[in-house]
Amino acid sequence: MSKKTLFIGGIKSGKSLNAEIYTLKNSISKPIYLATTEFIDDEMQRRVDEHKLLRSDKFKTIEEPLKLYNKIAECDSSVLIECVSMWINNMLYHGFKFDEMKREIEAILTLDKTVVFVLNDVGCGVIPENALAREFMDISGKLSQLIASSCDEVYHTIAGISTRIK
């Protein structure tokens, strides 16, 4: 039986770790860790390396910064998308528009696969002063609503504690 779950929270809230624990606990076989981060600088590479060490060999890692649907459709195990926020960033950087992102997420949500989404909650901050940051915030908010409305479970994470809100 497939199931969709969302872990949403602020940056460094603990949502990724809790999503990993949840995915491992609820997977029959070794789950897929779908890493969306593109390596843009040394600091980002260090962060990615730290994440890899923490999850060790508990997941099979697949790296895909843009075409998530195609990768997930090929998977034969549950999939943890880490993270949708970086994917939105990548899509904007490569010139994709909201409608294309929405179609990609909608397609993922229709798959008969177990998928755990991780997403930064950007709705509690101030409105950014530049247009690109506002566009990112708007897209992230709209996609978080779309994902949450279609998920079986939604967890909000603060200070390492994930609380089920749906």
Helix or strand (DSSP H, E) at 70: helix 68-74
Contact 15, 22 (CB under 8 A): no
Task: Choose, from 17, 51, 77, 96, the residue flagged as catalytic.
Answer: 51
Strands (DSSP E) found in the chain: 4-9, 32-35, 60-63, 79-82, 115-120, 153-158, 161-164
CA-CA distances (angstroms) from residue 142 to 7, 99, 136? 15, 11, 10
Q: How do beta strands 153-158 and 161-164 pair?
A: antiparallel
DSSP annotation string for 84-126: HHHHHHHHHHTT--HHHHHHHHHHHHHSSS-EEEEEE--TTSP
Q: How many CA atoms lie within 13 A of 35 on its CB side?
A: 16
Is 51 a catalytic site residue?
yes
Q: Which residues are catalytic?
A: 51
